[in-house]
Each structure stands twice: as C-alpha cells, then as structure tokens.
Amino acid sequence: MMPEARVAPPLAPCDASRIALDLYSLEVTARSLPGEYDDNFHLLASDSREFVLKFMHPSREESFVDMQCRGLTHLALRAPHLALPRVIPTTDGQVFSRVKTQDGSSRLVWLLTFLPGMTLAEAKPHSRELLASVGSLLAEIDMALLDFSHPDATRELKWDVSRSLWARDYLSHVRDPQRRALAGRFLTLFETEALPRFPDLRRSVIYGDANDHNTLVSPPWPLPRRVLSVIDFGDLHVGFSVAEPAVAAAYAILGQERPLTAASALLSEYHKTFPLREEEIAAFFPMLCARLAVSVINSAHRRSLVPDDPYVTVSEAPAWQALERLAKIHPRLAHYTFRSACGLPAVPHEEKINHWLNTNSPAPVISANLGEGNCVVLDLSVGSTFLGADPSRFAEPVATAGLQSILRAANVTVAIGCYNEPRPFYSSQLFSSGENPTNERRTIHLGLDLFTASGTPIAAPFSATVHAFADNRSALDYGPVVILKHETTDGLAFFTLYGHLSRKSLESLHVGDPIARGQSFASIGEASENGGWPPHLHFQLILDLLDLSTDFQGVAYPFQRDVFTSLSPDPNLIVRIPGHCFPPATPDPDATLSMRKNLLGANLSVSYERPLNIVRGWRQYLYDENGRAYLDVYNNVPLVGHTHPRVVAAAQQQLALLNTNTRYLHDNILRYAERLTALLPLPLKVCYFLNSGSEANELALRLARTHTNREDIIVLEHAYHGHTSTLIDISPYKFNGAGGQGQKPWVHVAPIADDYRGRYRRGESDLGKKYASHVEQILCTMKRTGGGIAAYIAETLPSGAGQIVFPPNYLAEVYKHVRAAGAVCIADEVQIGFGRVGTHFWGFETQHVVPDIVVLGKPIGNAFPLAAVITTREIAASFNNGMEFFSTFGGNPVACAAGLAVLDVLRDENLQHNALNVGIRWLAQLRKLQNTHALIGDVRGSGLFLGIDLVNDRSTRAPATAQAAYVVNRLRERGILAGTDGPHHNVIKLRPPLIFSDSDADLFTATLEEILHEDSARRSPS
Ligand SMILES: Cc1ncc(COP(=O)(O)O)c(C=O)c1O
C-alpha cells in the first residue's frame, strides 16, 4: 500500500476566512494548522468562538467525511461527557459541503469546534496519571463506538495496525543499515507474534490515531494533569480493538526511559474500561512496536518525496530512540509486563507450574534439616537492624564473620536469606540503572539463600538436564552458576538456578547432561570464588529464562517486582521451610499511611504527596523500604551524615555501659561542656543540657525572665521557636497560622530583616539599622508605658522565615538597643549552629555579635536527642534562685557521648570548611540558574544553608507557592529530598549534611534545572 502524498497546492488563510463567511456566516481570522494531507485552519470568530475548518485532500471521498461527521455525532450522543470536537453544520444544515477553490479544484469542507489545549507531544512531563487518563479516554471512546458502523469505516488505511506489513516494501528508504534492520526486526516481531493471533482478536470501530500530536491535555494546573480530548478522526476505522491502546502507547512511550512502564500506565487504565482478552494483551507489544516501525519507515519514504515536510518527520527522532529502547526488551518480558498491568499473573503458566510443584515431592537441595529450630531466617532487608547502615558490614570478610556468629549463637548450620526481599547490599554498578547514586537499583532478591559451609553438596530437586553453566566473575555477581531444566508431567519446562557455587562444580558438567532427582551435581563456593559473598547457595526458580541463560537476574528492580516474582516464584515451593519461620509480610505504603492516621494524631504532618517510608540512612542518603537512595538535601539534623559510625559507636558504647541522670557526677557532661564552651566566645560559659530545641528555648526564656524579672519578649515575624505552649506563644509562624490563638499581650513582633521581600530591600542604605530601629521602637514604647522587655529572641539566620540572611549590622544594632533597655539577647541557633554557614561556626558570628544566651539543638547530637543552653555566669547566677533545675534525660552520658563524637567528627573531617567550599560553588550554580529561569526570584544563604525563593513575578515578588510544592515533589520523585519554607512556603530550603559534596550539588542543580523546564514549574496555577 503506497502512502499518499499531498498533491493539491495548499490553501491560504484568506480562502478559509472567505469560506467561513460564505458557508457558516462566520466572520473569522484564520491561521493554518499542520496536517499531513488536508488543509486545516484555526478560525477565531469575532465573538471569540474558535473552530477548525477542514479542506479535505482533493482525492477524499464524500463518504470519508461523512463517516467522520457521523462518528463524531455518534460519540456526542453516546458519550456526551467526553469533550470531543463537535461538528458544526453550514447555515443551510449540511455537515459538510463541496467548494471550488481559486485554483479550480473542488474540495470537501467541514467545520468543527476547536478544542484548546496543549498536545501530549508538547506536555512535560508525561506523568503516570496523564498517560493513564489517555488510556481511559480511548477506552470510553471505543466503548461508545461499539455500536457505530459506517461503510467507509472498513477501508484500506496505511495506519491500520493490522496492515503494518506494507511497510516492509518501503524499508529500503531507511538509509542507515542498522536502523533499517531495527525497523525490520519489529515488523518481523509483528509477523510472528501478532499475525497468528489475528483470528482471536476482536474488531470494532476505533479512533485509531491517538498519537501525541492528536492528544490534547489539560493545562499544567491544576494537578494531576489529564487528557482532555483527541482530535482528527480521519483514521476512524474498523480495526483490532487492542490496536487503539497499542497506537496510543507507541507515542506515549516517546522520550520515556522506561517504555514498558509508560505503556503499562495507559494500557492498564484502558483495560479497566474496555477489558482486553489474554490474546489481545499478547498482541499489544508487537502492535505497539509495529506502529513505531511503520511511522519511521513512512517518514523515511515521505522524506524521499517531500524532503522538507516537517509534518512527517515530527516524531521521527524520538521514535527511533524508542525503537532502540524497545529493542533491548525481550518481547516476552514486555508481554508479561502488560499482562501484569492488566491484573493477570505476569507469566501465563505460573499457576500450572506452581500447582505441579505443590503436588510433586522434591528431593532436598542441600542435605540439612531446614525445619523449625534447625535453621535461622535472616533479616537482610533494607531496614535490617542486623545489617545496620554501614556498608562495610555487608562486605567480606566482615559479612561472613557476622553470619558465623549468628549460626553459632543459634547453634544451627544453615541460615536462610528470604525470597522477594528488598536488600541494601547490591551496591555495584551491575545493579544500577544509571551513574547517579540516586538512580534506581535492583534490590528485590528473587531467590532463596541457603547460607552454610562452603563445600556443601547441592542436589537436584527434580530430574533435570544441565541447561547452562558459567562463571560470572564480576564482583557481586553469581560467580559459578548452574541452571537445570525440568519438565512437568504435562511437558511444561521450568528452570532452577544455583548461584555462588564452587568453581570445581563446573568442571565435570556438560550442557544436556541428565541429572537425577536427588543427584548431587555441585557444591557451595568460597567467598574468593563466588562473587565475593559469604558462602551460600542462591537458589532460584525460573519459569522463562527470556533467552538470558546464566545472566538471568537474581535481583529485580522494585518497579518490576510483580513481573519478576511471577517469572521467579518463591523457591520455597521446592525447599519447603515452614512458612511461619519467615517474617510476616511488611505492610504496603497505603496500609502504613492508614495505620499512621489511625494511631497517631492527625496533625502530625507527613512530607510529600507520595509519603516516603524511610528505613535506613547512611551519609547524605536516606533509603526507602525498597532500597531507593534519596540524596538528603533537607535534613540539617544529621550534621556529619546519617548514622556516622563514630557517633553511633560512641552512643552505643555508652548506652551499653551506663545511661543515667545528672544527679550523679559524670565525666561526659563535663567534657562536653568544656568542649562546647571552648567553641563559644566569652562570656558564654555556663551550660544547661536538655533533649530538644523546644526544651532549650523554653529554658532560655526562663533564664531571661528570671534574670530581668520581666515577662515580655520581642520576636521576629514568621519565627518558630518550638512546640511548647510558651514557645507557640512566641512563634508568629504558629500563633498567626492555622489553629493559632493570636498574639499574647506580652509578645512583641518586630519585622523580619528580610532584604528581599521585607519593607527595606537590597540596595538601600543602612538596612541593618533601619530594621533594628523597629526593635528600638518596641523597646521605647514599652519603656514609655512603664513595662519592660525580658528578651529579644531570634534565629541568627532565620530558617522558618525563608532562609533569611540578615543585612550587615542588623543584630549588632538590635543587641545594642536591647541591652540598653536592660533586656537580654537570645540567639536561637537550633537550625544553623555547628559550622553549617561555612564562614563561621555559629550563625551569630556572621553578624559579629555575642548573645547573652545561646540555644543549640537539632544537629548537636547528629540525630541523638540533645540540646543545650549556654549563657553567662551572671544570668546563670540569677537563675540559681533556690529552685532546682533538673531534666531527667538532659545531659545524660549517652547524649553527651554523641555530642562529643559530633564535635570530633566536625573537626577531624574539616566539615565547616567543606560547607564553605561546597556552598560557595553551589550558590554560584544556583544563581546561574536564576539567570535563565524567571521562576527563581532570589537565591540566598551561606555555606550549606541556602534558600531558593520562587516567584511568579520578579517585580512584585509574588510567591510561587504551588510551583515550589511541585518542584519539591518532583525532586522527591527524582530521588532528591528538599523542602519548602517561608511564610508563603515558596522558598526551597537546602540544608544537607555537611559532608555534602560538589557532585551532590551538581546532581541537585542539574535535576532542578530539568524540573524547571517542566510545564507546571513554568506556569502559575492562576
Ligand atoms: C529555630 C528553631 N528553634 C527551635 C526549634 C524546636 O526544636 P525541637 O523540634 O527540637 O523541639 C525548631 C524546630 O524546628 C527550630 O527550627
């Protein structure tokens, strides 16, 4: 079948305007729209209505236009809720008519309502929800078309997927031989996998052309984005029903790194409304691939006819890229994936094999009693406390030693590693989807591990032949591995895989050798030969090797878990360890969330639209239950990195010795107080230890009030100082926010010295002085009215207010006024102390002041609960008024041991210096991004305390709150954790552990930049 070419000279917009007036009495301005054969125009009527006027290709038959008009009218009746184009009749009631054009040719013309909307091709990104909604819309259209018929719907159409093999004759137009072979390969796949199924596939009238340029999607806001409509019903035809989602999926996967995931999103939703049969699902992948192959071959051919026609080549580059990606996927894996997406067992014969295994008796794979009490089941999951976070504990020889001590303690010879368990230790590049540490990794263990002595013989559970064997020598690979092939009584083949064998095992094996049930054919290898693991057998059941032989994976990506656990069912069907020996299944994220809602206070907030279940932390990474690593750019508490071994060891060792209260003498508290005060300027010499920032701020207020004998406090706008009653009263962020009780008479709020959004701005003179004058005014008013202020409390670089850096001289001026009024100055360093700002160890040093009371918390114990208040001897003396000060846990030996270790690590790893250097470079990168992205209004901060202020309008600085939430949620999807802050929640706050590196900053910036190109980051919701 020859693809058609445009033959008539194109019409001009003035022709369109004239016809609109003649036939439809519409006064319009017309604009040409792209089209492969026909001349289409966008019409804007004088009353602002919009239409599409279609001048059909001269060779078009009336019946063809009639079919479209009737089809659309049918859809408008059957599915009126769908926002599809509607046909507008001429003033004399015709749905289409014939006109003579100025060149003398005769053309059919008809008018449709214009549907506004961005095309799917233009939309960024293609979220799961968006693609799913495409599937759902198409299924609704196809359901509504089930009772539609038209003589022209059965016609020869080059885009009818069932006819895809026409493209074979045009393959030679693809010049590049590799690409030609690639396209040809997918036509062959269609021939071998789709064609034979034709008799079993249902036919119906389908829309048939859901390419990404015909699919209109909703605006970037509100989220989630959905499909609006499809346009161009010229390919309406009687075709295979499954071709509808297959064509749509062919375009939905363009640009997608995971084509099967994208196609599954669309297919699964289609299937919910238009349930597909197993044979139809089996034809889906070959059809999808064939459509792309036809598309690129068509483009190559059209280019030979019309070298510069942009319309035909529009999808070409992404289509080739998609074909290259598809070529790396085994068609049966695709088939299984799509079955799984439709709620079927991924592997069709899974149930039969499982039944056979359940009804046949296997010989033991190793000759050990694996019944209860004779083996231990290990927890090797991502959140295993046995493994801990430190990867050196998973590596040899430590791993073997740890395992042996478990076996000794349990007095058994075999330990079991579980099937379908997400694990943290598949750390080599072999298991990663990319170069970045946050790229998803294969973590789901597909076998059962039997840890026991090397040399232990392995026997075949059922009669078998040797299918394959190899020595996979890469680190953390299988090492020597054997695959046996078995057959069920019905002749169904399945395989068992034995990994981490001794090299000797392979010496006497030959492919095709028969192995009797119970015959020993291999033995367990040593760590030196088995890929670097403690001696064990990795035993895996495989229903389809996907032509991978000994490279069949033993560990799967979490996103492929359903498919791979069907391909490799539980090997305990063969090993038969009692089920109750295994831990109960972990609740899924939805169950965890609903338990949380049920058991915990509902106003305990949770981060991100898709909350994270974090089970492990190591250095600057947090890991979810599936082992996905997230770069932690948010948490300032793990100052020296999550689970730093020195801090962990210090706390663990002290906890194993003693933890008690401060009514006994103990060296730790004194050593710690000595170290802390040495880091603080005079006269800050007296320490009080507590357990949280809130407790510490609470105590700071008591100190100030006792010392001054006054009650009133000056605070800054938007400040947050803690969750106790008094601290809520001095936190405008809370008392002015939802559920807040308003300002108490003893609280005085001064403007935040924010030189970006505040009342005095960057570029003005004496900003510090101007902002400080407001504090002075409060003090004067109080004095005039006979009252007095006890304290001025402020973060020295306010975080809650939006990562603010005070203008120079601000605190110096404020402190001068405060002290002159007999009040004290409290510096809340809970967020930024301990070197975070890079230039200085403490935030107050950046302002060249010394507070009277310093409050420390959060990072002080690197996540061990600890906080401190440090003050002058004078204030401490006032506080010593007869009332005992006591905090049961404050300053306990374990907390102080942790605090001491943190100070050691900060010094030994030179982390303040790192914060400075990485911060300077990162800030510059982000400011560069600001030059090209209008959304970024300001980038500010110091060291590893940075804020990116997102705005909808740089001149008004209108906060881009919705976009900030969008960016943060997208970063989370991409494996980066950040948060928002500020009164408008539009400031992306960056406060990573101080071990954050240049490459971490690069990854953040590059990812942010990609997200800033997405539609919802570029458009405002209003
Ligand atoms: C500046 C500041 N001060 C005090 C606190 C209270 O600390 P905690 O939550 O440890 O009680 C916080 C907590 O976010 C804070 O940000």
Q: Which atom of ligand 1 is nearest to the CA of 857?
A: 10
| Upper half-sphere CA count for residue 590 (Cβ side, 13 Å) | 0
Q: Which atom of ligand 1 is nearest to the CA of 695?
A: 11
| Amino acid found at 95 | V
Ligand 1 center to residue 944 CA distance, Å? 18
Q: Are 218 and 117 contacting, i.e. CB atoms less than 8 angstroms apart?
A: yes
Q: Which atom of ligand 1 is nearest to the CA of 692?
A: 10
Atom 16 of ligand 1, residue of closest alpha carbon: 831
Nearest to 191 by CA among 168, 160, 159: 168
Ligand 1 center to residue 855 CA distance, Å? 10
> What distances in angstroms separate CA 191 from CA 154, 283, 1013, one per listed residue?
22, 10, 40
Q: Label the pairing between strands 824-828 and 789-795.
A: parallel
Q: Which residues of the chain have pLDDT under 70?
A: 1-9, 310-315
> In the beta sheet, which residues pair with residue 377?
416
Tokens 């000759």 sit on residue: 367
Assign 3-class secondary structure to 285-306. HHHHHHHHHHHHHHHHHHHHHC
DSSP string for 641-694: -BT-HHHHHHHHHHHTT----TTS--HHHHHHHHHHHHTS-TT--EEEEESSHH
Q: Which atom of ligand 1 is nearest to the CA of 697?
A: 4
Which of 634, 694, 866 has most ligand 1 atoms within 8 Å of CB, for mutation? 694
d(CA 184, CA 170): 10
Helix axes 331-341, 278-305, angle to 10 degrees: 120
Atom 8 of ligand 1, residue of closest alpha carbon: 693
Tokens of 808: 């120079």
Q: Which atom of ligand 1 is nearest to the CA of 798?
A: 1
Atom 7 of ligand 1, residue of closest alpha carbon: 693
Ligand 1 center to residue 205 CA distance, Å? 63
Ligand 1 center to residue 799 CA distance, Å? 10
Q: Which atom of ligand 1 is nearest to the CA of 858?
A: 10
d(CA 997, CA 976): 14
Q: Which atom of ligand 1 is nearest to the CA of 867?
A: 10
Ligand 1 center to residue 733 CA distance, Å? 12
Q: Give the gyration radius of the chain's Cα atoms.
A: 35
Atom 13 of ligand 1, residue of closest alpha carbon: 722
The dihedral region occupied by 895, where left means phi > 0, alpha psi between -120 and 50, and beta the remainder, is alpha
Which of 634, 720, 866 has most ligand 1 atoms within 8 Å of CB, for mutation? 720
pLDDT in tens, 316-332: 899 999 999 999 999 99
3-state SS, residue 821 = coil
H helix intervals, 854-997: 873-879, 893-908, 911-932, 961-973
| Amino acid found at 446 | L
Ligand 1 center to residue 696 CA distance, Å? 9
Q: Are 692 and 865 contacting, i.e. CB atoms less than 8 angstroms apart?
A: yes
Helix axes 128-145, 243-252, angle to 10 degrees: 160
Query: What is the dihedral angle through the alpha carbons of 16, 18, 24, 25, rounded to the nearest 10 degrees?
Result: 140
Ligand 1 center to residue 852 CA distance, Å? 19
Q: Residues enclosing ligand 1, CB less than 6 A?
A: 692-694, 697, 720-723, 795, 799, 828, 830-831, 857-858
Atom 3 of ligand 1, residue of closest alpha carbon: 721
Which of 635, 690, 691, 697 has most ligand 1 atoms within 8 Å of CB, for mutation? 697
CA 964 to mean position of chain CA atoms:
16
Ligand 1 center to residue 957 CA distance, Å? 28
Confidence at residue 714, expressed as pLDDT on a 0 to 100 scale = 98
CA 473 to mean position of chain CA atoms:
33
Confidence at residue 371, expressed as pLDDT on a 0 to 100 scale = 79
Ligand 1 center to residue 695 CA distance, Å? 9
